[in-house]
A and B are shown apart, each in its own frame.
Chain A
Amino acid sequence: MNSTNSKNARTLQYCLAINEALHQEMDRDPSVLIIGQGVKSPWYVGNTALGLLEKFGTRRVIDTPVSENAMTGAAVGAAIVGMRPVLIHPRMDFMMYAMDPIINQAANWHYMNGGRGKVPVVIWGIVNRGGEQGAQHSQAIHGIFAHVPGLKVVMPATPSDAKGLMVSAIRDDNPVMYIDDRWLHNVKGSVPEEPYEIPIGKATRIRDGKDVTIASISYMSLLSLKAAEELSCRGIDVELLDMRSVKPFDKDLLLESVEKTGRLIVADVGWQSFGFAAELSAFVSEAAFGFLKSPVVRVALPDLPTPAARTLEEAYFPKVDNIVTAVHKVMGKS
């Protein structure tokens, strides 16, 4: 999806782009370590951790017992005393055990200590769903974390962003939630060889357009691009923004785009209500009301737990069609 200006860009899978970021950062900075369940196992983390254990050893690549609360706290504590841990939850659902160290401790730490304590931790959760896994192996809960002051939340959709945002997350002195998606792991894209940062809080305009803005995140950016191509055949010119960062999100680019098109669809991988899509909708209504030609429409998961049966999954997960339909709605067409 993205093209890059680097002379050394080549095609790489999303999961291997993350892997490259980890290798390069761990090479560059001895304080970076990776800790979490399944870092030794492709079944858990795909190919994102390939070769790390062999290269950096068991002191810096730590596969843990099933203790999400303590392991997350340990990553936070290690960050407080000067390490740069990357803590992985191979399924985001299991992060629920770790809410205290993430929200009560990490998010608040710098502020409640008057700036005298910092937490340069990356808390990485993989959205791992489908395949009839059911409700507790499927959740994308970035909305919950984005609600909390003191956390940054990023969700790259492309291989080049996956690498650049992991690098940025590691180098950031604050707690950053890095959320990727198994459904993106095999996506290929152009990735520069050298280490580079993608700024947190900056979206990217994947497609210029004048009729309607789609602001999307993570896997929905893939679907939105397909929807945009389909819509273009029907004479509707979509401007597609891959938001990349949930929090902070790129208010400037979003406003610039909405002021141009006057129409906004937000395509999110989380649930419809009380989440990222709801936030962008509220923000645009406050900041760009006069520019809107129609209400903001959210395309997201229905407010339901994730089912197992494939027929129900089919009805549950948004598709390209849902985005196309939403665009037609804001364009006033049937």
Chain B
Amino acid sequence: MSEEVSMEHTVTLLERLYRTMLTIRLCEESLVDLILNGEIRTPCHLCSGQEAIAAGVCATLKPEDYIFGNHRSHGHYLAKGGSIRDLISEIYCRDTGCCRGRGGSMHVLSPDVGMWGAAPIVAGTISLALGAALAIQTRNQGRVAVSFFGDGATGEGVLYESMNFAALRKLPLIFVCENNFYSTHMPIRECRPDVPIFKIAEPFGIDSRQSDGNDVLIVYKEASRARELCLKGEGPVFLEFLTYRLRGHVGPDDNIQGCHTDIRPDCEVLEWQKKDPILRFERYLIEESLLDERVLQQIKEQVEEEVKEGHLYASSCSFPRGSDLDRYVFR
């Protein structure tokens, strides 16, 4: 963990960050066997390994701040305060899911806690977050909008259109790029020239930086600063976080249905496993005597229980009825 990080974090915050990351990890990992045995069919883009970004960013946000996600948004949903039960139910495609079984894994939302939607069209929700920021400005509200996207989205034109407009109007928008170095099967060096991603915001005059996305306290610090700037009318802000997904692009591993759609070198995966954000944070908390091991263990057991309960609940709920096929087309 970085030594520059302020030692002034409250116990409440540290516990929250730990709990959030663990909730995401245990939830994601709990899906693996069910995906492999076919009980869960909706394509799950697991974010194991990337939890620090969702946790660190969302910890600095208020419920009234808007976040929009993508295909890998289970973590964003949980970190913003979405219910484990509703998420897992949606992944089982039951009618008790957060989208009543109509969305599946790639469409999760919980507007009550400020998670306003996720969608898998790459960069498709960036302009939606832009619109939320525009709404904030029009209504003169003290809140921010956050757009979560990956390195793959830096190939999409709408990202640049959105940065341009956000900068032009100084919108309270935080662009959060989770750079995990792969865009489905494509390594980043085959997608873009060797220029750091955060620099794409500089031509628009946007405050932009790159940080270690596997250090939750750094993420929290950067996100807090970004939020402050936006609230002062000095937005938008672009944050690039370096991270790595420990699972496959979709599904538990890189071997989807027998085809190796993305092959990452074992040594690379191993390197990043050593930088696991949760293990790093645990070590840091214990070494710096910030949280007791017993507290961490307690949190772990509570979260395990919640995730287990989520599965028991979800798997016992019914699927939506075929006769309800045409509900929810229009308001």
Interface residues of chain A, those whose CB is within 8 Å of chain B, are 33, 35, 59-60, 62, 64-65, 67, 69-83, 85, 100-101, 104-105, 109-118, 120, 149-150, 152, 173-174
Contact = CB atoms under 8 A, between A and B. Distances in A.
Interface string B109-140: 10100001101010011111111101101110
Given A67-B165, A113-B102, A101 B329 contact: no
B258 interface: no
Contacts of B109: 113, 116-117
Contacts of A60: 138
B83 interface: no
A113 B131 contact: no
Contacts of A117: 109, 111, 116-117
A101 B99 contact: no
Contacts of B130: 70, 73-74, 77
Contacts of A83: 131, 135, 138-139
Residue of B117, B119, B127 contacting most chain A CB atoms (<10 Å): B127
A116 B113 CA distance: 13
A115 to B, nearest CB: 4
B119 A65 contact: no
A74 B138 contact: no
Contact of B162 (A70, A112, A173): A70
Contacts of B66: 81
A120 B331 CA distance: 9
Contacts of B157: 69
10 tightest A-B CB contacts, nearest first: A73-B127, A77-B131, A114-B100, A77-B128, A70-B161, A67-B161, A74-B131, A78-B131, A114-B99, A173-B331
A174 B130 CA distance: 20
Contacts of B71: none
Contact of A76 (B98, B103, B107, B128): B128
Contact of A74 (B101, B134, B139, B329): B134
B331 A110 contact: yes
A81 B135 contact: yes
A101 B130 CA distance: 12
29 contacts: A59-B138, A64-B165, A65-B164, A65-B165, A69-B158, A70-B126, A70-B127, A70-B130, A70-B164, A73-B126, A73-B127, A74-B134, A74-B162, A77-B127, A77-B130, A78-B132, A78-B134, A104-B121, A109-B117, A111-B102, A111-B328, A112-B99, A112-B107, A114-B100, A114-B101, A115-B327, A115-B331, A116-B98, A117-B117
A105 B331 contact: no
A211 B221 CA distance: 76
A85 B128 CA distance: 13
A113 B124 CA distance: 15
Contact of B117 (A59, A113, A120): A113
Residue of B103, B124, B129, B138 contacting most chain A CB atoms (<10 Å): B138
Contacts of B100: 114-116
Interface in B67-84: 68
A150 B135 contact: no
Contact of B131 (A81, A116, A152): A81
A111 B161 CA distance: 27
Given A70-B130, A70-B165, A116 B329 contact: no
Given A81-B66, A114-B103, A72 B134 contact: no
A146 to B, nearest CB: 14
B150 interface: no
Nearest to A57: B138
B235 interface: no
B103 A110 contact: no
Contacts of A75: 131
Contacts of A115: 100, 327-328, 331
Nearest to A101: B127
Contacts of A85: 131
B97 A114 contact: yes
A74 B127 contact: yes
Contacts of B97: 114
A81 B127 contact: no
Contacts of A114: 97-103, 328
B73 to A, nearest CB: 13
Nearest to B104: A112
A150 B329 contact: yes
Given A70-B130, A150-B330, A174-B331, A113 B99 contact: yes
A173 B102 CA distance: 20
Given A80-B116, A101-B124, 12 more contacts: A62-B134, A65-B165, A67-B165, A69-B157, A73-B124, A73-B131, A77-B132, A77-B134, A81-B131, A113-B107, A117-B109, A149-B329
Contacts of B134: 35, 62, 74, 77-78
B168 interface: yes
Contacts of A110: 328-331
Given A70-B158, A113-B109, A65 B168 contact: yes
A71 B127 CA distance: 7
Nearest to B137: A59
Contacts of A116: 98-100, 109, 111
A133 B175 CA distance: 39
Residue of A74, A76, A80, A115 contacting most chain B CB atoms (<10 Å): A74
A104 B162 CA distance: 18
B114 to A, nearest CB: 10
